Amino acid sequence: MSKYQLGEFEEVVLLTVAILNGEAYGVSIIEEIEKRLKRKVSLGAMQTSLRRLEDKGFLKSELGEATKVRGGKAKRYFSLTNYGKKALRESKEQRMGLWNAVPEFVLN
Amino acid sequence: MIDPPRLVLGFFRWFCHPDCRDDIEGDLLEIFNKNVEAKGPRKARWLFVIGVLKLFRPGIVRPPGSGRYLNRYGMFKNYLFTAFRNMKREKLFAFMNITGLAIGIGCGFVIYKIITHETSFDAYHKNYKNTYRLITEFNHPQYGTGWSEGQIHPLGEALRNDFPGIDAVMTYYATDAQVSIVDKDGTVDRFHEYKGVAYAEPNFFKIFDYDFIIGDPDKALVNKGSVVITESLAMKYFKQPASEVVGKIITINNVAPLQVTAVVADPPSTTDLPFTLIGSYKDQPASNPYFHDGTDWNEYNSNTNCYVVTSETMPAERLTQLLPDFLSKYCGKERASFAKYILQPLSELHYDTRVSNYNKRMISKTMLGVIGAVGFFLVISACINFINMSTAQAIKRAKEIGVRKSLGVKKGQLIGQFLSETIFISFLSAIVGVIIAQFLLMLLEGILGYQLSVQLLKNPNELLFIIIMVIGIGLLSGFYPALVMAGMNPIKALKNSLTVHGSSGLMSLRRTLVVVQFIISQVLIIGTIVAGQQMNYFLGNNEGFNKDAVLVARIPRTTPEKREALKTVMEQQPGVEIVSLSCASPMANFRVENEIEHPSITADQRVGGNLKTADENYIDLFHLKLIAGRNLPREKDTYEAVVNRKLTETLGYSSPEQALGDKFKYSGDMEFTIIGVVEDFHTVSLHQPIENTLLSNLPWNIFEIAMKVNMSGRNFSEIQGTVNGIKTEWDKLFPETIFDYTFLDQQIARMYENERKTSQLFQIFSAVAIFIGCLGLYGLVSYMANQKTKEIGIRKVLGASTGSIFSIFSKEMLVLVVVAFLIAAPIGWYVMKNWLQGFEYQVELSSLFFMVALGITIGIAFLTIGYKAIVASYANPVDSLRSE
């Protein structure tokens, strides 16, 4: 077993944060996921997931500048921590390991 | 610009965790604005609402309260730690505090157990609420109102026939019975049962709940000759389990062989129908000589009771209205003119002292209240100790409080600390208290007559009671000391310049509390003394006849010749002085009462007389004083009577001699000639007045043999030899009946069992109250002695004598005791006066009792303080003054 415990949705969120690279905040992450995965995500689900990932240490966050568009409220930008990056890498390696182990004819 | 719904936004701001409130709100608004553009304002608002609702989830919702968690665990740990340290430093105080509270809690718990036991009688029957016992109330123009539980044998059937919608059952409870069992090889086992033998109509088990182990409740008592016994009797008689004994034969009093049809589980101890052997109703002639065939409408019997179950179609109120007509229909208009039926609820059976129940033990609700109050005051007394000792100690903790306060501890927190400390101490006391309670319950078993034990784990109510006590006592006794300590001035406390004497209110409260304790102790002492004196009076020789060295035994039913033979044989026994055959000894539960008719008694008066069947030896044996005329003759059936003085007065004679030769009618069909008059003697217990009594030499109603045994100058084994001789002769004459005897003084003492128990209970609880009070007193005095070490040293240096120093301590105590006495005496007088109202013959409430109570209290108080005071006054002043 891996020492990193990542749920499917959590992994998606982490990857999206990585894709957005510095531009990841609540709404942009949701839009990115909707765009790429054609999957509806509510703000509630997203925010709880982000907080949890932050609590677990996969993500870190900082408040950005206040903008007028959002009623004067600042955006909270999320980025991966080293620990988060490690978790993603390990997750990928596990998947790849599994893929490689599948005999070729099975999936054909 | 379109705004999102404000209310919903407000809601979001309210519930959202403040850490993420701003940025999530920004996200919400951004999405909202995009939606307004893409989907229009209406849809956007809806989506906003849904979005907010979806945010309402753990992780985003803020914690309740201020949002700051304060972990107080560490603080509590510190409080406990401080409490422990204090107890270790002040071992004596801690010990006395815990002991006092533990005794208080123990007694409180015991009294709780007693009261719950006494109030749970018969409540387990499913018909509890609508079962009644039919009792009779008599209204007499001269003698006032009286009540009787005894009923007529055919009453139940008549009730069932006349009133549809009710059920009624007759029960007969035998005073005692001999049970014989013949086993396989033909030997006979005989058992004498003093309780539990009853006879009941077949529907008995429909009305009262019994647990049937084997057998059918509906059929168990239908046939004549059937009997239902309990599991433990089955074991006792047959040494076999319940399932094996059905069909076996039990013979009652050697005349009625009954077949076991069912076995029931033992009834709980909380029932006033304590039946263990229930024969069918028609078989009761074996025990009840007056039953005949159960159809006589004139034969009343106090052991025959009638229970009625009402229903919705015939509620109790309606039945009560119909009963007068029923009474005159069956018993005649004449009886209906002075008697009426009352429905006594089953729930009152245990409390109603107007009439007896089958256990012959009623406890009035007032009495229960008094016991409860005693328990309450014991607990209060224990709390007072605690308050006194803690406030006395307060000054020693001044430094701690000063430090805590200067570190910013609020007053409320300090109060919390001290309260948690007292609750902790009362918790410790409760543990000890429960152990004390268990011992006390074992000790009280003999007095209470039933067995109780602590069942904290089995009975949640008991646990709840203990928890409530712990918290209640903790708060009650901790609140005032906590207030005092928390209110200390921190500067003074740290400078060590606090004095307890500085606040006079504190001292006066402490004095008041000590006075309250003394009041409680003294009222209990007065109660104990008066109850004890009344008991002595009961058991002293005030009955008007001799009861010493008289051996009595019941004679089995037999022929007159055999009875006379018994008498002759017994008279010849060495050590037996004189023998008499009678219905019962002068004072007995057995009574025959009927109406007396005489020209001097007008028709509207009804005068009852107690008829005692006696023989020529009766008056001599019991030392009755013949004041006129002559003794009863040896011949039977002459209808001559020796009456008591009271009866001659009732018949209108001023002197006993004038009554001689006069005749009166008794029970309508008998006429007696007065041949002698004896001085009044008590025929019923001293609870009741002397009644009209006549002794006559009738040939029937002879149930008892009384033998005066020579005791003077003989040792125990010689007397035992006489008794053994009597037994040997008895067994020759009546091999089928166990020789079962008592001494008359014991038999009479049993009539005052309830009073004896009350008196003993009071003794124990007043001893406890005094002990608790003494603990408190000792604590106070040792505190005073510590406080006054220097003062005493200086006084001694200046030449004060030991006595004058002793008086410093004792003066105040004396004043407190006397003040308490002035309050306790009237309370004690009032309470005991009321208690004595229950007896026709009472001891005088003399001032001596009160003086003795005062003396005892002062004596004990001085003993308590004496040691400490003497030690303090003998102390070398050099030691106490050397260190500053």
pLDDT higher than threshold 60 for residue B506: no
DSSP string, B287-340: T-TT-TTS--SS-EETTEEEEEE--SSS-HHHHHHHHHHHHHHHHHHHHHHHEE
User: Does B557 score more than 90 pLDDT?
Assistant: no
The number of C-alpha atoms within 13 Å of B798 and in the hemisphere containing its C-beta is 8
Contact B22 A27 (CB under 8 A): no
What angle do helix axes B460-486 and B91-118 make, rounded to 10 degrees?
140
| Mean per-residue pLDDT over chain A, rounded | 86
Nearest Cβ partner for B22 among A43, A47, A73: A73
C-beta separation of B107 from B257 below 8 A: no
Tell me, what amino acid is at B521?
A: S
Q: How far is CA B216 from CA B65, B219, B222, B521, B834, in A?
A: 64, 5, 10, 56, 50
Radius of gyration of chain B from Cα atoms? Answer: 38
- What mean pLDDT is predicted for residues B361-388? 87
- Dihedral (C-alpha) B101, B102, B105, B106: value to the nearest 10 degrees? -150
In the three-class reduction of DSSP (H, G, I as helix; E, B as strand; rest coil), residue B133 is classed as strand
Phi, psi of B503, rounded to the nearest 5 degrees: -105, 110
User: Could you give the maximum distance between any two Cα atoms of chain B, in Å?
Assistant: 130
pLDDT number for residue A16: 92
pLDDT in tens, B635-647: 887 889 999 998 8
What is the chain A residue with the closest CA to B31? A27
Query: CB distance from A92 to chain B under 8 Å?
Result: no
The answer to whether the beta carbons of residues B596 and B582 sit under 8 Å apart is no
Does residue B65 have a pLDDT over 70?
no
Cα–Cα distance, B45 to B34 (Å, whole number): 11
CA B539 to chain CA mean position, Å? 22
- From chain A residues 54-83, the ones with a CB under 8 A of any chain B CB are 63, 69-71, 73-76
Residue A52 to chain B, least CA–CA distance (Å): 8
Give me the residue label for tokens 């006069």.
Answer: B662
Task: Calculate how close chain A gets to B64, using CA atoms only, in Å.
Answer: 18
Residue B478's pLDDT band (cuts 50, 70, 90): confident
Please give the C-alpha separations between residue B46 and each of B35, B240, B732, in angstroms, as whole numbers. 10, 81, 108
The mean pLDDT of B798-806, rounded to a whole number, is 83
**pLDDT surpasses 90 at B533:** no
B53 CB neighbours in chain A (<8 A) are 44
Q: How far is CA A99 from the centre of its chain?
A: 22
Cα–Cα distance between B771 and B765 in angstroms, integer? 10
Give the model confidence (pLDDT) of B256-298 as tens digits.
899 999 999 999 888 999 999 999 999 988 888 888 888 888 8
- A69 and B30 within 8 Å at the Cβ level: the answer is yes
At B502 the pLDDT is: 42
Query: Residue written as tokens 């406990």?
Result: B80
pLDDT in tens, B334-371: 888 888 899 999 999 999 888 888 888 888 888 888 88
The answer to whether B74 faces chain A, any CB pair under 8 Å, is no
Q: Tokens 């509590």 map to which residue? A: B76
pLDDT at position B498: 60
Structure tokens at A91: 């997750």
Instruction: Please check whether residue B262 is in contact with residue B250, taking contact to mean a CB–CB distance below 8 angstroms.
Output: no
A78-87, B390-399, B464-473: which range is least confident on average? B390-399
Indicate whether B787 pLDDT > 80: no
DSSP output for B704-770: EEEEEEP-TT--HHHHHHHHHHHHHHHHHH-TTS---EEEHHHHHHHHTHHHHHHHHHHHHHHHHHH
Q: Quick check: B28 contacting A, CB < 8 Å?
A: yes
What is the pLDDT, as a whole number, of residue B414?
A: 86
Distance from CA of B52 to the nearest CA of A (A): 8
> Given B22, B24, B54, which is nearest A42 (Cβ)?
B54
Q: Note the pLDDT of residue B503.
A: 44
Token digits for B778? 């000792």
Residue in A27, A47, A49 to test binding to B, most B beta-carbons within 10 Å: A47
Angstroms from A65 CA to nearest CA on chain B: 11
Query: Where does the pLDDT of residue B762 fall: very low under 50, low under 70, confident under 90, or very high at 90 and above?
Result: confident
Q: How far is B483 from chain A (nearest CA, A)?
A: 46
DSSP code string of B455-499: -TTT-HHHHHHHHHHHHHHHHHHHHHHHHHHHTS-HHHHHHT---
Residue B299 has pLDDT above 90, yes or no: no
The pLDDT of residue B665: 87
Which of A78-92, B284-298, B786-800 is modeled with the greatest confidence? A78-92
Strands B304-309 and B131-140: antiparallel
pLDDT grade, residue B495 (50/70/90)? confident
Distance from CA of B69 to the nearest CA of A (A): 18
Write out chain A residues lying below 8 Å of B2, CB-based.
none
**A19 Cβ under 8 Å from any chain B Cβ:** no
Which helix (H) or strand (E) segment holds residue B613: the answer is strand B607-613
Instruction: State both tokens at B474.
Output: 């903790």
Full-model pTM: 0.71
The alpha carbon of residue A71 is apart from the nearest alpha carbon of chain B, in Å, by 7
- Inform me whether the pLDDT recorded for B111 exceeds 60: yes
Contact B673, B683 (CB under 8 A): no
Most confident listed range (A54-68, A91-105, B771-785): A91-105
* Number of inter-chain CB pairs under 8 A, A vs B: 66
3-state secondary structure of B525: helix
- Look at residue A72 and tell me whether its pLDDT is greater than 70: yes
Question: Comparing A91-100, B137-146, B454-463, B464-473, which segment has the lowest mean pLDDT?
Answer: B137-146
Instruction: Report the pLDDT value the prediction gives residue B310, as an integer from 0 to 100.
Output: 92
**By the CB < 8 Å criterion, does B31 face chain A?**
yes
Does the beta carbon of B432 lie under 8 angstroms from any beta carbon of chain A?
no
How far is CA B131 from each of CA B127, B205, B694, rounded to the nearest angstrom? 6, 13, 39
Q: Parallel, antiparallel, or unpaired: how do β-strands B576-582 and B704-709 relate?
A: antiparallel
pLDDT exceeds cutoff 50 at B67: no
**What pLDDT is recorded for position B464?**
92
Residue in this structure with the two tokens 């007072």, named with its chain if needed: B384
- Give yes or no for B22 touching A (CB within 8 A): yes
Q: Is the pLDDT of residue B230 over 90?
A: yes
Q: What are the φ/ψ torsions at residue B501 (nearest 5 degrees)?
A: -70, -20
B777 has a pLDDT exceeding 90: no
SS3 of B230-253: the string is EHHHHHHHHCCCHHHHCCCEEEEC
**What would the mean pLDDT of B437-443 be, rounded to a whole number?**
89
Count of CB atoms situated within 10 Å of the CB of B237: 20
Among B55, B15, B9, which Cα is nearest to A48's?
A: B55
> Would you place residue B688 in the very low, low, confident or very high pLDDT band (cuts 50, 70, 90)?
confident
pLDDT tier at B69, thresholds 50, 70, 90: low
Helix, strand, or coil (residue B444): helix
Partner residue facing B55 (CB), from A44, A52, A69: A44
Q: Least CB-CB distance to A63: which of B23, B27, B54?
A: B23
B-chain residues within 8 Å CB-CB of A63?
22-23
State the sign of the Cα–Cα–Cα–Cα dihedral B311, B316, B320, B321.
Answer: negative
pLDDT above 60 for B782: yes
Q: Which two tokens stand for residue B236?
A: 């006792």
Question: Which has the higher per-residue pLDDT, B62 or B728?
Answer: B728
Tokens (6 digits) for B539:
């058991």
CB neighbours of residue B877 within 10 Å: 17
For residue A27, what are the contacts with CB-CB under 8 A and spacing of at least 6? A43, B27, B30, B31
pLDDT at B718 over 90: no
Across the interface, do A44 and B51 touch by the CB < 8 Å criterion? Answer: yes
Cβ-contact A64, A77 below 8 angstroms? yes
Instruction: Give, for B672, the enclosing helix (H) or strand (E).
Output: strand B670-678
| Per-residue tokens: A2 | 């891996």
Tokens of B428: 């410790």
Q: Which residues of B touch A69 (CB under 8 A)?
A: 30, 33
Average pLDDT for residues B201-225, to the nearest whole number? 91
pLDDT at position B197 is 92
**How many angstroms away from the CA of B39 is the closest CA of chain A?**
16
- Give the mean model confidence (pLDDT) for residues B523-542: 83
Return the pLDDT at B70.
59
Partner-chain contact A76 B20, CB within 8 Å = yes
Tell me what the pLDDT averaged over chain B comes to. Answer: 85
| pLDDT value at residue B808 | 79
CA distance B592 to B213: 40
> Could you tell me the two tokens for B454?
């602590």
Q: What are phi and psi of B220, to 5 degrees?
A: -55, -40
| pLDDT value at residue B344 | 93
Gap between the Cα atoms of B537 and B546, Å rounded: 15
Q: Could you give the ipTM of this predicted complex?
A: 0.87
In terms of pLDDT, which residue wins out, B654 or A2? B654
Say whether B27 and A26 touch across the interface (CB within 8 A).
Answer: yes
B5 contacts B51 by C-beta, under 8 angstroms = no
